[in-house]
Amino acid sequence: MSTRHTERTGPLDGVRVVELAGIGPGPFAAMLLADLGADVVRVDRPGGPGLGVDPAQDLTNRNKRSVLVDLKAEGGPAAVLDLVERADVLVEGYRPGVAERLGVGPDACLARNPRLVYGRMTGWGQDGPLAPTAGHDIGYIALTGALGMIGPDPDGPPSIPANLLGDYAGGSLYLVVGVLAALRHAREHGEGQVVDAAIVDGTAHLTTMIHTMLGAGGWQDRRGVNLLDGGCPFYGVYATSDGGHMAVGALEERFYATFARLLGLDGETTAARHDLARWPELREAVAARFRTRTRAEWTGVFEGTDACVAPVLSLREAPGHPHLAARATFAEHGGLVQPAPAPRFSATPGTLRRGPALPGADTAEVARDWAVPALHPQESKTT
């Protein structure tokens, strides 16, 4: 056992994960497992993923180790299967059938390790008409109805939520939930299995509450006219005099009352909350008030109150916010500012133990720690 392993912390300490290198939601899911203490070994291929990102700055590869294996070369699949034999979890994000053609599909891996949890991350899933086709986050969330409901303008195009909704919320997080559930089953029953995490499935699942509201008549099937999609004047974003923005979420009556008072709305305008026909009038009144001061000034007005108003910060500004700084929501490691591991655990906290894994840099170390001499034959004598 290596010294680094004995220093590893987190609730997944002792769990071994093999990650077949890819891009997007697969690496993020493996990063989350690594943040929680798992020993994640990323199997990189010669040449890398071709994203043009400096591996030393790819934060999704933090807390991992990397070995370099060419799955298309003789001995490549065998080396990965040697890792699989010693692993608890495998994560891959290839198109359906690719892992099988490379010799490291579920059948080959589970034959080698019947307790293995084989996590598959795709956009469309392992079956269905679109399964073999290419895609990206925007297309996956488009088909589920999630993209179509985002945005404040019912007559304009939907707003694009970066790739957070599909790739990471509907993809990575569902893969992690599935892997952990299957891992529990494997440890109790000795039975591994395949986890088919499709972004379309996870994103659709995220819309469960909206479907409840839609079925009950509390949600219109078009954007910009509902309580949570920008249609509501007291749940939205408003520009300030200096070009900044404030986010308003004063949904409950008591919070709205505080918001209206601090914003300086008169009683008649405030009462428009209860009349849907007057919502455009209320929205304009709120917008006009916010345009009278800067973002910093409005932040000061609402700070420490229950008005449910917050400044809209940029990615570079966010780490400096007093609340996030006090909670150490962001951290610096190796000169890189980054989100800290989440969620938090009282007894087994996740940690930032090491920076992004450089392709192949840990081959000898992993060969020693996992006792896989085929990875690095000259290390075999130390196992």
Question: Catalytic: 167?
Answer: yes
64-68 and 39-44: which strand pairing? parallel
Q: List C-alpha distances in Å: 49 to 41, 154, 275, 338.
A: 16, 39, 54, 22
> Which member of 58, 82, 167, 229 is catalytic?
167
Strand partners, 196: 120
First CA to last CA distance, the chain: 9
DSSP SS3 for 17: strand
> Which member of 5, 136, 189, 205 is catalytic?
136
279 burial via Cβ count (<10 Å: 0-12, 13-18, 19+): middle
d(CA 146, CA 104): 34
DSSP SS3 for 281: helix
Question: Catalytic: 136?
Answer: yes
d(CA 186, CA 118): 11
In this structure, the chain runs to a length of: 383
d(CA 93, CA 26): 6
d(CA 63, CA 68): 17
d(CA 82, CA 63): 22
Query: Could you give the residue numbers annotated as active site?
Result: 136, 167
